[in-house]
Each structure stands twice: as C-alpha cells, then as structure tokens.
Structure 1
C-alpha cells in the first residue's frame, strides 16, 4: 500500500509539472515566441521633437560605447540629449563632455541633480531632473535610455515612427544584452525568457489587457502621457521602475507596447556569475513585493515547473517507475522547446536549451538570496545605495 502511494505521488507530481507546461505553452500569451518586434510603421508627415534623457552613475566603463550612438542619431526632427550625472565618482560627466566634443552630433547637456531626497531612487531622481531640463524644449516625446545602451543610427527614427503609426504612448524595446562569457550564455537569455513569461509581450500591447511592462533601457514616452501619469513622481520609490512606469501609463488609459530589439544593445559586461547574481538578486524580492508568502509560492512554483521534470525523469529511470519518467521527460521536452526561440534570438547553441532547469535553479537561489539580503538591510542595493521597501519610506504620499 505504501509503495503504491509513493508511486502515485511520484506520478501525480510529474503530471502536475507537465500540465503546468502545457498551460504555459498554450495559455500564457505565447510568451516563448520571439517575433514581437517593432510594429508596422510609416514615416510621419512631420517629425516631432524628442528629448533623450540618460541617467548615469559611475558609467565610465561603458559610456564611450553607448553615448556616441545617441549623439549620432539620424533623426529628421529636432532632438537633444540630456545626460544626468547621478553623483558619479569616476568622471562620468567629464567623459560625456569629451565624447560630445570628439563625436559631435546631437546637442548634449550634462547636468547633476545632487543626492536624491528620501523616498526617491537615484535613477528616478535623475530622470526627474532630466525631464525638468527637457521641459523648456516642450518635446512631444521623451526617450528614456540607460547609459549602457547602444542604439543603431536609425533607432530614434524607428521608435518615433512606431509610436506615431500605432498611436502608442509608450514604445519600449528589450535591449539585446551582452552574451559573451559562459555565465552570460547560461543566464542572460533565460533572464529575458523569464521576464517574457511574467509579462507576455503580446498581452502588453493589447488594449484592455491588464498586463503592463516596459524595458527600462529603451523607453520612448509621449510627454503628455507622462504628465497624465505623473511620471516619475508617482513611481519615485520604485526599484523596478520600468514596470512601474508602464503600469502608471496604462492605468491612466495609455496605450503601450513592448517587444524585443533588433538594433538596440546593452554593452554592459556581466562576465562572472557574481555579476549576474547581483543584477538579479538586487530586485528579485522587490518583484515579489517583499512578501514571504509570494516568495514561498515562487520557490514552490519554480521547483514544480523547472526542477521536477529532470528529477522525476532520472529518478523514474533509476527506480523503474516508467509512468513518472515518461511524464517528467515530456515536461522537460516541452520546457526545452519553449526555450529554443530565445536561444536563437541570442544566437546561442541549442544544446543550452536542456540546461534550463539548472539555470532556473540558479534563479531560485538568487531570489532567496534577494530576500535574505533584504532582511539583513542590504536589499535593493545598487552602486552604493540601498533602498527601503516603499511602505517603509517616511512621509511617502500616495
């Protein structure tokens, strides 16, 4: 009787994992597809003015590869770049001036807002300062882009054309992250894969759908929509600011779009596992709203969906539990198949696809570590700053 019960639990666990994967395959907005690119667009009869806002903190390592690509934008309308030096100690502002002198192109203003007040993250305080500087130019659009993002010469033109053609208030592209080291190959494509699983791109662009997200490295934002949504003041304490921005704009009736980039790339290197670990763990627990209950559910869900299939397959083969092994193998096969398009998008070898359970286990550990660091008072730390959870901010206004 006990043996039968153990076999039933074994088989039912494998069946649950397979059922989860069938549901993810068919019912989660086809998140695994990578064909969501800039929507159909045509050149507008008149090109609106755009101000580009670049928050930058200690970015000397990457700025020479990114800022010149903004200055060299081939944009038919009026455009200007505002780089906001967010308290850098490595000469970021000075390098920006030197790059502008060397490369020319679009006008560049470099400014610094000083340290952020209580209740603001450094990046959003810098964005606020940059938007304030841009306000006197009365631009129709703002391009919010990170200091590590390199743009093709026609990037701004394509973003504006897509926004005008589709009537979008936000057009955001998930920049193609660097994939060079072994750890980047294992972790980076999975990062985008998991993001798309949480926020299926097809649902984001659908009017009336509740799903909202953006990719903070490249966000074209209609100025009028930003004012309606009180961006960035309304989200000033958000650690995951891109998702918060998208929710605020969509909550105010805005139309948003998010997809994968073809010619917008991050030049920031993450060569070691420790680099990638910090990138994920600094905001993972914030994504779960600092909730122990959500953390427990997430860990259990990751284990059921990603870890159970290979474990059940191997255990079933060893113990000759054929039914469970078959179900586990099928779940692993579906999982592997859904990961293949993302590996192709990143031009990575397909033998990495069956290793997704291992990568998911790393993400599970990163998420738990994020919670541990939060309760030690070191959560959401980035470049020398640690941010409190929103409900801990003194004097915060709704």
Structure 2
C-alpha cells in the first residue's frame, strides 16, 4: 500500500518591495511548526520591538550583522527573564501544599515560553548551508553534521530557515564534536554528535567502570557478552570493553546516536569487541557459530542508563534526560529476565532526581522492578559532580542538591 509523503514545511515572507513574496524550507529540531507571520529584520530593529513582536507570535528573519543578531537574542532573553521575575514577585504566594512536581511543571512552562519567544529570531541558510550575514562564521560543516548534506543545486531551492537559537546549538555541538569530552575511565576522549547526550556527567560512567562484575575475574567459563542499551555516544560500551568483556552489543533508537557510537568505537580501536546495532532497545542476535552453546540473544550483563525524568522532551538533545512515562525504563525492566544468561545481571543506572521532584516515588520504582520478575541484589550510590548541583539560583536547586545517582544490580527473581 503506498503512502503519501509528508510535505516539507515552508515559510513565506515579503522582502525588497511590497508584494514580493519569497519562501524557503522550514526546519526545527524540536518539531516547532513554521511561524504564520514572518517579517524581515536587520540592525535597525530595537530589542523592545523585537521582544514585543516575538511575544505576539511574529517571527523575525534576520538580514543584518550576525553578531548583532546574537546581541539582540541576548537582549530579548533579558526581557523574558525580567518579566518572569516580575511575575513571580507580584503573583500570589504558592498555595499551601504546593508540590515539587507542580513547581517543576511551572519551571518547564517558563522554559518552554522562553524557548518559543527566542526561537522566533530566524536566519536563512543558503542551499550549500552557508550563512550570508555580515561577520557570520562558516557554519557549513556544522550544519552538514546536524542536518545532513545540503539539498541545493545552486538555484536557491535548497535554502533552509532555522531559528538562531537552534543554529547556535548546532555550532556549539560542532565544537564539542571537534574537541571531545575527556573520560578518565577510558583514558581517552569521546566525541559527541549533535543531538546525542554528551557524557559530561562522569559519575554514571565511573559507576560502570568501578562496580564489580557479576563473575570472578579469573572464571574460565568462556567468552562474556554484555548489552549496552541506549548507548548514546558509546561511552559505556567502550568502558565495558576496557573492563575485559569479550563482546559488547550497543543499541540505540536514534540513528544519530548509532552513527556517533560507531565513530567513537572506531576511534578507540574497539571494533573487534563492540558492535553497534539498531534502531531498537534490545538487540536481535544470531547464534554465534564459534560458540554454539551460547543461547541466541542472551547476555551475561545488560547495562542501561535510561533518561531519568519521566516527562516530555522539547528537543532532540533532551531525549537523553526526559522520557514520557519512563517508557525506556519500563521496557528495560520487563525485557531483562528473558535476556540474561544463568548467573547474569542487569545494571540499571538511574538518578533519583525524579523522586525529589515528585515525578516518581521510590516505591513505584521498586514495584516496577518486582513486577518485571526481578530483585535487587545490591546498589552503589554516588553524588553528582556537575555544576548545576551547586547553583543556588537554579529554581530546582533543592532537588538537584539532594540528587543521588545509583547503579542497581538486578537479577531474575
């Protein structure tokens, strides 16, 4: 049965003289629909006017100096933050019994409003991904990494309009991809791609690097296989290979993550030990002909570091933190008992931030573990070391300061 392809969204605006309509493809990594009204703006645009228009839903297609566009974005952000502070100062005190979850949702609403308003300052990429603005950096490589090869043929048909906030994220991701993130547990760097969660929170990597394996190190029982579910950059798969696992199967649902993990595995010289496969959560593996006694699709160790907040992500990169209803967590738990070899373990690496925010209770987590036919044989805890845990200006500081990241050792009951 044939299906009708989804039409590419476009935006339209008037430029040069009244009645001259132009259009271009619209792209948003957060799936924001194209703005209904677009006007051209340049260095003459004042911050107050830009803020007012953006709040009203009008998008501003920038034709001025690139650095002035960044300054305008910062000025608009200051106005949003000031308005938010004034709103907090003049609104009624929180009702008695307001929960942390309600505070979290208010915080998310404010962040969403901020992102929508700032996302209405737009820039146009030419059909070779170049940015034709004064003092603009060369963004072609960064955009190719994020969006794929240019689709233009030199006629302008491949022009693309994106928000400036998104483009700045693309540029930042390109810098991370060039310089990488130092991972002490590997003695090497991991290079994240755009849209793939960066392993800057080293505490969860250290948990996997330091927790005793579920079998004696001198046990001569044949090769050991591990699954790294939701591998992202491939950092945990690489750590497991460095710890002596004979075979590591790394999976992810994101094509970007799969490409990123394969690149990192290749850089580290681990392609003989780590296989990246997907998209999917649990891998489908054929029986290994050299070890016919190994049951198909089973592992001695299954490691999963799912998103720790059961809420809806608003962008691609947030998918590493937010997961509606904790779907990946529950899929990992329910699939684990049938994917472990006798004597094997599952390692669940999970922050308890959701518990401090009132989005999930410890009893709910333990109930989900038990309902999946699993029991806990041990737990190792660590405190976060990232700067936000110490930022007293963060509206969620109390929850972040109390956060603990744990590695739960799980076996079939």
TM-score by length of 1: 0.27
Normalising by structure 2, what TM-score? 0.27
The structure that is strand-richer by fraction is 2
